[in-house]
């Protein structure tokens, strides 16, 4: 049997969370068009007959640290790479040109001593393509895989490459007693992340990256339904009004979408009570 810790790293929106979700077949990390979506080093377990992979999805590396939130997230990814790892998967998006952000990420990956895989994502997109800007890296990596995380293309090829590089050892996590999905984060954080994803998807560019979500209560009622009480925190009243929307239309849309996904994840009826609050200092507590 083979087993080990595999770190996914790449600049924001390279597709790390989509890749991890589609490898495992269920959602463990939220995705959205906004950068800085992943705020935690999320760990999830993949197993098959070959062995066990403990995946770590790190927050994207930002080229320019322009706010206090980015200053807190950036070190989390670099801290993970300083830990004992068995394989690093460096995910790049060939549809985006290389820039200082990508160069910074590559520089960090180069310092890692573990075996490395270069995974070129979004090969289902033919144009634009800047793949020639990434091809020169291939000699620096133990394996190179071209894939589409979104379309699930060549994900088995990536898994084959990972298992080839993993050491022979017993599995690291006892998954027999692990809830599904098998995560290292508290269930309330997972639920809050689902709500935050829906807020991002509905708000798009209307609200800058200035919100977070908190789940205060999770209670199973006598009828078997799950009652979840959550809050969306934002940094200014003007954003609060945008999140609520005219006559509460936006918060209703967010709540409905979040509730549907939470019911799928929990496999039971969910009642979601969601409110919006202004908290100028939420970023400082990240």
What are the angstrom distances between the C-alpha of 250 and each of 15, 97, 241? 27, 35, 10
17: annotated binding-site residue? yes
What are the angstrom distances between the C-alpha of 120 and each of 138, 143, 144, 187? 10, 11, 8, 32
13: annotated binding-site residue? yes
What are the angstrom distances between the C-alpha of 219 and each of 65, 158, 242, 270? 39, 40, 29, 10
275: annotated binding-site residue? no
35: annotated binding-site residue? no
148: annotated binding-site residue? no
Per DSSP, helices labelled H in 142-226 are 155-165, 187-203
97: annotated binding-site residue? no
41: annotated binding-site residue? no
Per DSSP, helices labelled H in 220-271 are 237-244, 249-266
Whether cis (ω within 30° of 0) applies to the bond prior to 128 is yes
60: annotated binding-site residue? yes
16: annotated binding-site residue? yes
122: annotated binding-site residue? yes
Tally DSSP H helices, then E strands, for the chain. Answer: 8, 9
Quick check: 23 and 159 in contact, CB under 8 A?
Answer: yes
10: annotated binding-site residue? yes
129: annotated binding-site residue? no
Strand, helix or coil for residue 24: helix
What are the angstrom distances between the C-alpha of 132 and each of 11, 12, 16, 110, 120? 18, 20, 21, 19, 11
189: annotated binding-site residue? no
210: annotated binding-site residue? no
Binding-site annotation, residues: 10-17, 57-61, 121-124
Binding-site annotation, residues for GTP: 10-17, 57-61, 121-124
């Amino acid at each position: 049997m083979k087993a080990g810790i595999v770190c996914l790293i790449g600049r924001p929106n390279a597709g790390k969370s989509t890749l991890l979700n589609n490898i495992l077949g269920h959602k463990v990390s939220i995705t959205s068009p906004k950068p800085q979506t992943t705020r935690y080093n999320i760990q999830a377990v993949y197993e098959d007959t070959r062995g066990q992979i403990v995946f770590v999805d790190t927050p994207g590396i930002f080229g320019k640290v322009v706010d206090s939130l980015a200053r807190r997230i950036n070190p989390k990814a670099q801290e993970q790479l300083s830990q004992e790892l068995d394989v690093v998967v460096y995910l790049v998006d060939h549809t985006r040109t290389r820039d200082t952000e990508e160069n910074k990420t590559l520089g960090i990956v180069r310092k890692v001593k573990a075996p490395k895989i270069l995974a070129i994502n979004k090969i289902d997109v033919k144009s634009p393509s800047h793949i020639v800007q990434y091809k020169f890296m291939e000699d620096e990596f133990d394996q190179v895989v071209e894939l589409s995380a979104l379309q699930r293309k060549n994900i088995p090829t990536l898994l084959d490459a990972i298992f080839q590089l993993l050491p022979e050892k017993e599995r690291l996590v006892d998954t027999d007693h692990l809830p599904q999905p098998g995560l290292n984060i508290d269930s309330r954080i997972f639920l809050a992340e689902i709500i935050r994803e829906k807020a991002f998807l509905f708000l798009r560019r209307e609200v800058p990256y200035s919100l977070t979500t908190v789940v205060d209560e999770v209670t199973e009622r006598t009828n078997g339904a799950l009652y979840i009480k959550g809050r969306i925190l934002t940094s200014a009243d003007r954003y609060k009004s945008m999140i609520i929307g005219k006559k509460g239309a936006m918060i209703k849309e967010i709540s409905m979408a979040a509730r549907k996904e939470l019911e799928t994840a929990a496999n039971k009826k969910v009642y979601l009570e969601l409110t919006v609050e202004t908290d100028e200092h939420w970023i400082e507590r990240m």
